[in-house]
Chains A and B, each alone.
Chain A
Amino acid sequence: MTKITIALAALASLAAVGASAQEVKLKQAPGVDAVEANCQACHTLAYIPMNSPFLNAAGWDAEVTKMIKAFGAPIDDGDAKAIADYLKKNYGT
């Protein structure tokens, strides 16, 4: 059995214990408060590191705009800018 197979089998036995909730620790930098306050009502914060580090400034602008325009995220202009700046600086390219 490969190491991976053993690991999977052992993890399966943890099912009775219950899986731990997804932990996403965002980089602690200016703007992270606005992200944590506005970006986890609908989904996990994990979407942010998941989509990193390849999005450029235009890419993160487009993401924040999509959340507000397409998905109805109730985020005001000031917060949207702070969030986009944070994402570009800490999760962008």
Chain B
Amino acid sequence: FSEAQAALAELTPGVPTGVESYAKMATLPGKKPLIELADRPPNYESPLEYFRTPITPNDEFFVRYHLADIPEIDPKTYKVKVGGDAAGTPIELSLDDLKALPAVEVVAVNQCSGNRRGLSKPHVAGVEWGYGAMGCARWKGAKLKDILAKAGIKSDAIEVSFNGADGPVADKTPDFIKSIPAWKALEDTTIVAYEMNGQPLPHLNGAPARIIVPGWTGTYWMKHITEINALTKPLGGFWMVAAYRIPLGKFPIRDRFVSQETAANTPITEIVVNSLITSHRDGAKVKAGKVAVSGIAWDGGYGIRSVEVSTDGGKTWVSAKLGEDLGKFAFRPWSIDVDTKPGKNTVMVNATNAIGQSQTSELIFNPAGYHNNVMQNITLTAS
């Protein structure tokens, strides 16, 4: 085998064929092999095998950057500035200061907004992710609300913005700066994390500290956080106004970002309910008879209520057994035995969350390729 051949085996079926021409598996420092979509800036997704545990280990966790100037940060001199026009008492915190604040831990899925974009039909421009631009980890850090309280966040704050130490190579390229609504910033689960699965954050996952917004897509989870600003006006800039927009009314989402809504679109917010078969790939060969199929399910933080499986193309459904519940923001494992007959057998999976949202059978197309939660329907060939 070669790194290129290994990648071909790992690529998600359906991504643009151009990816096959150059993609290979690569081992970054501190990481196990990942699918290399780009090395500069780093964009690497996890192969399917790494999703067989509900917690994704640090060395199996995907890596995603918009911009290629990624400095190494000395944790001893690291500072995060907290201010903005809605902060009464701006402060600067060192890593030790962050660690001195009351620590909380939350288990949460970090999923790139564009995860599965590569499977869009028709294909759309962007980073052509398959299934693997996501991971679930135990994040430990200080509550953002405690930090904002120290900075004297005022009642007229409408948004809180995040800027990280990484930035563009060229001066004219807009820096990657994102904001979330003030109400979201003040939730107990929004944290500034300095630990991931009990270890200091890996460099490529945002060391020494990053923003964690459980339930919301990864674009808000600013890595290498250096500036937090409480704002009285909506944040502008390319990465808020032009990028990361979904058409209004097309997706079943609850969390609104009112200060950024326009007549036509709104920023992407919570993750849509989704599932992934991890035990078998499409086309896998199995022994006819009982086959143990398993996978994971997740959503935007309401929790998974049920995972159902159909082997007759969606006419009838059987409930899978749900596994360990690590919390409403985590990957929820599921498993089911399916009966296979010699020849082709299909396995379709639909997850439903606690507020009754389910996956879709038809892609909800959008030009940016966000929110792909089409039910998987794989074929097992039994003999």
Chain A interface residues (CB < 8 Å from chain B) = 3-5, 7-8, 10-12, 14-15, 19-25, 41-44, 46-55, 59, 62-63, 70-74, 91
Q: Which single member of B3, B38, B49, B171 contacts A4 (CB below 8 Å)?
A: B49
Q: Find out whether the CB atom of A71 lies under 8 angstroms from the CB atom of B33.
A: no
14 interchain pairs, CB-CB under 8 A: A3-B9, A11-B33, A15-B29, A19-B26, A19-B27, A20-B26, A22-B40, A41-B170, A47-B38, A50-B16, A51-B18, A52-B16, A70-B238, A71-B172
Tell yes or no: B168 within 8 A of A by CB: yes
Chain B residues lying within 8 Å of A15, measured Cβ to Cβ, are: 27, 29, 31-32
Nearest chain-B residue to A59 (Cβ)?
B125
A63 in contact with B125 given A8-B25, A22-B39, A49-B21 (CB within 8 Å): yes
- Cα–Cα distance between A44 and B174 once the two chains are bound (Å): 18
| Interface-centre pick from A19, A41, A51, A63 (highest chain B CB count, 10 A) | A19
Give the size category of B's interface with A: 35 or more
Q: Find out whether the CB atom of B127 lies under 8 angstroms from the CB atom of A50.
A: yes
Q: Which single member of B10, B18, B36, B172 contacts A72 (CB below 8 Å)?
A: B172
Chain A residues lying within 8 Å of B6, measured Cβ to Cβ, are: 4, 7-8, 11
Chain A residues lying within 8 Å of B90, measured Cβ to Cβ, are: none
Q: Find out whether the CB atom of A43 lies under 8 angstroms from the CB atom of B40.
A: yes
Chain B residues lying within 8 Å of A52, measured Cβ to Cβ, are: 16-18
A71 in contact with B174 given A8-B47, A15-B27 (CB within 8 Å): yes
Q: Find out whether the CB atom of A46 lies under 8 angstroms from the CB atom of B22.
A: yes
> Shortest beta-carbon distance, A11 to chain B, in Å?
4
Nearest chain-A residue to B66 (Cβ)?
A43
Q: Which single member of B28, B128, B238 contacts A50 (CB below 8 Å)?
A: B128
Chain B residues lying within 8 Å of A47, measured Cβ to Cβ, are: 38, 127
Chain A residues lying within 8 Å of B18, measured Cβ to Cβ, are: 48-54, 91
- Dominant secondary structure at the A interface: loop
> Shortest beta-carbon distance, A63 to chain B, in Å?
6
- Cα–Cα distance between A10 and B39 once the two chains are bound (Å): 21
Chain B residues lying within 8 Å of A71, measured Cβ to Cβ, are: 168, 170, 172-174
Q: A4-B9, A22-B38, A72-B172 are in contact. List 10 more A-B contacts (CB 8 A).
A: A7-B25, A15-B31, A42-B67, A42-B170, A43-B38, A43-B41, A49-B22, A54-B122, A71-B174, A73-B170
Chain B residues lying within 8 Å of A53, measured Cβ to Cβ, are: 16-18
Chain A residues lying within 8 Å of B123, measured Cβ to Cβ, are: 54-55
Q: Find out whether the CB atom of B37 lies under 8 angstroms from the CB atom of A46.
A: yes
- Cα–Cα distance between A62 and B47 once the two chains are bound (Å): 31
Q: Find out whether the CB atom of B22 lies under 8 angstroms from the CB atom of A14.
A: no
Q: Which of B60-76 contact A (CB under 8 A)?
A: 67-68
Tell yes or no: B19 within 8 A of A by CB: yes
- Cα–Cα distance between A12 and B26 once the two chains are bound (Å): 9
- Cα–Cα distance between A70 and B173 once the two chains are bound (Å): 7
- Cα–Cα distance between A14 and B18 once the two chains are bound (Å): 26
A51 in contact with B125 given A5-B49, A43-B40 (CB within 8 Å): yes
Chain B residues lying within 8 Å of A14, measured Cβ to Cβ, are: 27
Chain A residues lying within 8 Å of B68, measured Cβ to Cβ, are: 42-43
